[in-house]
């Protein structure tokens, strides 16, 4: 992730240089300030597989159970086609 951020920063810096423009000012944040912005515990909270079903179902639908899981193609009698050689 860091390498990607550094690459993106280099691309933006090169773009500004070629365009003869200045990048907007950079503001430094502390780790605590970033955590307050990005670590909202109510935003997409983590759930176990046992607890996620009711959250994914519409209020008037039952939670999906094992019957709702699609079987692999081989179990449905389908075979995978091999690429032509």
pLDDT digit string, tens, across residues 32-55? 988 888 887 777 778 888 888 877
pLDDT band at 8 (very low <50, low <70, confident <90, very high): very high
Backbone phi and psi for residue 18, each to the nearest 5 degrees, phi listed first: -65, -40
Gap between the Cα atoms of 14 and 19, Å rounded: 8
Gap between the Cα atoms of 35 and 43, Å rounded: 13
The answer to which of 40-49, 51-60, 74-83 has the lowest mean pLDDT is 74-83
Q: What is the DSSP string of 41-58?
A: TTSS----HHHHHHHHS-
Residue 6's pLDDT is what?
92
């Amino acid at each position: 992730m860091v390498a990607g951020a550094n690459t993106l920063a280099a691309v933006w810096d090169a773009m500004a240089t070629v365009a003869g423009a200045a990048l907007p000012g950079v503001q430094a944040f502390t780790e605590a300030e970033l955590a307050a912005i990005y670590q909202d515990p109510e935003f997409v909270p983590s759930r176990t597989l046992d607890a996620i079903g009711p959250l994914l179902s519409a209020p008037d639908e039952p939670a999906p159970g094992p019957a709702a899981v699609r079987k692999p193609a081989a179990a449905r009698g389908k075979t995978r086609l091999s690429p032509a050689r």
